[in-house]
Amino acid sequence: MHEKILEMKNVNKKYGGVNALKNVDFSLKRGEIHCLVGENGSGKSTLIKIISGVVKPDPGAEIIINGEKVKHLNPRESVEKGIQVIYQDLSLFPNLTVAENVAISDYYRGNIKMVNQKEMYKKAIKAMKKIDISINPKKLVRELSVAQKQLVAISRVIATDAEILIMDEPTASLSKHEINELLNLIKSLQKQGLTVLFVSHKLDEIMSISQRVTILRDGNKIGTFDASELDDQKIAYYMTGKTFDQNEKRGTEKFGKKLLEIKDLCKKRNYMNINLELREGEILGIIGLIGSGRTELALSIFGMNSPDSGEIYVLGERVNLNSNYQAIRSGIAYVPEDRLNDGLFLAQPISTNIIASIMDRLVNKAKIFQEDKIKKVVNKWVHDIGIKTDDPENPVRTLSGGNQQKTVIAKWLATTPKVLILDNPTVGVDIAAKHGIYNIIKELASEKLGIILISDEVPEVYHNADRILIMKKGRIINEVFPDEITEAELQEMVIGGEINV
């Protein structure tokens, strides 16, 4: 039996004039958990697509699976050779049952011609038992949580007797507790003999789960390392060619006047008895696990989730925020967590996205757009926020995740807000883009903007906020200052904090 279950040599892939991969050698050892990391555009997705047969490498590449040389792969051949991929969208059928989703590979591979519901259920239960989970096989997938859908996708892989499982950013939409459960499950799959290729931006996950790590940068393989040789700073340096000060925190700041005050805000089944204030130049962190009520609170401040009771004041004046239009007029802006669905018009130009919230300010008396004004606004924010683009008229979907997030921030800064709410602003962006966004946040605060930074990532609020509120089950359970506690202590408070009523 070969130690290497997969070998790839001299892999190149060029799209037009762009080298997505350049002379990459890559291998997977049988039964290992191997992490593949790199910034957006580094070539990770292209390499995965070549392994899964979706993309053909340029001539000259050599692929060996289980010691057998393969001329080329298509998706069907890749599956037949025991390779399965779980993409971020999970590729499940929402209108089919759990059992139908688990057993569906038997049908698209042509192994079975007639549908046998009883056999389907048997197969699904057998696969789920192997990974020690219990989900009703008759339940429609659309009725499941994201974490449960992830388990169904893994059960489908188990049902195919796959040898190699590729997971592309599997934790992007999961809570901390769900992430820990998934990582433990992956370790369990490894013990059962499965080889796992795990793709992630999150350095803590990489360090906790992998035996080896392959790092790509700009289509080049920087190296494959034993996980024991690496730490967060080394991985970040190899990914980007830059060093980042992970321990850099804001200095002692003097904050200005009170911008926002919330008194006894309540919303049934969302949050209760919320009291907080925000001053000019302050970055207020709000941290809590998924379900803590943090996003629901943010939406209420932005006029999109009317509270049942309580009061909101902006610059000392009480406001009733029953719509986002009223919130914008009061000087409040909100960058949502889900930028693709809630923050951007993906098919529209970058320029259109930037001006989307201020179009009424860019027309003349005849209600005709003033092109010179538009160009000036767009160029200002592309420059000030550092959006990397050759042309602001390109569709926003052509940007990397980090630059898409910068575009959403630019859209809301164009409204000249007093208060900016950022809800998980670095979800799905690579480490360099993260630090770019953190620098923008600190620069905005230095210009007297009041910022509410909402996150479930402890390092994000610990290293960027001046003051942190911890939420659990709809309540603020604690207020802490980063200078007075350690990151580990904050982590413990977030995961294990008690509610004091």
Q: Whose structure tokens read 């005709």?
A: 368
Is 343 a domain residue? yes
User: What SS3 state is found at 115?
Assistant: coil
Is 196 a domain residue? no
Q: Residue 111: pLDDT above 80?
A: no
CA distances from 449 to 262, 324, 333 (A): 17, 19, 11
Is 219 a domain residue? no
Q: In 267-280, which positions are buried (b, 16+ CB within 10 angstroms) versus exposed (e)?
A: beebbbebebebbb
Query: Is the dihedral angle over the CA atoms 458, 461, 467, 473 positive or is it negative?
Result: negative
Of 24, 200, 74, the residue nearest 213 (C-alpha): 200
Minimum mean pLDDT range among 69-78, 105-114, 412-421: 105-114
Write out 302-333 in H/E/C secondary structure.
CCCCCCCEEEEEECCEEECCCCHHHHHHCCEE
Of 402, 353, 351, the residue nearest 373 (C-alpha): 351
- Contact residues for 247 (Cβ-Cβ < 8 A; gap 6+): 463
The domain that contains 293 carries what CATH number? Answer: 3.40.50.300
Q: Calculate ∠ Cα 19-24-27, nearest 5°.
A: 145
Take residue 221 and report the two structure tokens written for it. Answer: 């393989």
Question: Higher model confidence: residue 485 or residue 365?
Answer: 485
What is the number of domains present in the chain? 1
Residue 499: what pLDDT?
A: 46
**Cα 282 from Cα 294, distance rounded (Å):** 18
Question: Can you give the pTM of this predicted structure?
Answer: 0.75
Residue 53: what pLDDT?
A: 94
Domain encompassing residue 416: 258-496
The highest-confidence range among 98-112, 176-190, 356-370, 412-426, by mean pLDDT, is 412-426
Give the residue-averaged pLDDT of 3-26. Answer: 93
CA dihedral 173, 176, 182, 184 (to 10 degrees): 160
Q: What is the DSSP string of 150-161?
A: HHHHHHHHHHTT
329 CB-contact burial (10 Å; exposed 0-12 / middle 13-18 / buried 19+): middle
491, 478 in Cβ contact below 8 A?
no
Mean pLDDT rounded to a whole number for the chain: 89
Q: What percentage of the chain exceeds 90 in pLDDT?
A: 65
Q: Residue 352: pLDDT above 70?
A: yes
Q: Whose structure tokens read 């006894």?
A: 264
Q: Residue 194: pLDDT above 50?
A: yes
Residue 399: what pLDDT?
A: 87
Residue 497: what pLDDT?
A: 56
Q: What is the DSSP string of 338-385?
A: -IIIII--TTSBHHHHHHTT-GGGSB-TTS-B-HHHHHHHHHHHHHHH
Take residue 113 and report the two structure tokens written for it. Answer: 């011609």
Is 135 a domain residue? no
Q: Residue 501: pLDDT above 90?
A: no
387-390: long-range contacts (C-beta < 8 A, 24 or more apart)?
A: 387/350, 389/350
**Cα 302 from Cα 296, distance rounded (Å):** 10
Residue 133: what pLDDT?
A: 87
Q: Calculate ∠ Cα 313-316-320, nearest 5°.
A: 30
Q: Residue 110: pLDDT above 60?
A: no
284, 258 in Cβ contact below 8 A?
no
Residue 203: what pLDDT?
A: 80
- Contact residues for 15 (Cβ-Cβ < 8 A; gap 6+): none
Q: Residue 109: pLDDT above 60?
A: no
Of 259, 264, 263, 234, the residue nearest 246 (C-alpha): 234
Is 197 a domain residue? no
Residue 500: what pLDDT?
A: 41
User: What SS3 state is found at 263?
Assistant: strand
pLDDT in tens, 289-327: 878 999 999 999 999 999 999 999 999 999 999 999 999
**Cα 180 from Cα 187, distance rounded (Å):** 11
- Contact residues for 257 (Cβ-Cβ < 8 A; gap 6+): 279, 280, 315
Is 74 a domain residue? no
pLDDT in tens, 21-69: 999 999 999 999 999 999 878 899 999 999 999 999 999 999 999 999 9
Question: Higher model confidence: residue 153 or residue 173?
Answer: 153
Helices within 192-293 (DSSP H only): 203-209, 232-240
**Cα 385 from Cα 350, distance rounded (Å):** 13
**Cα 33 from Cα 211, distance rounded (Å):** 6
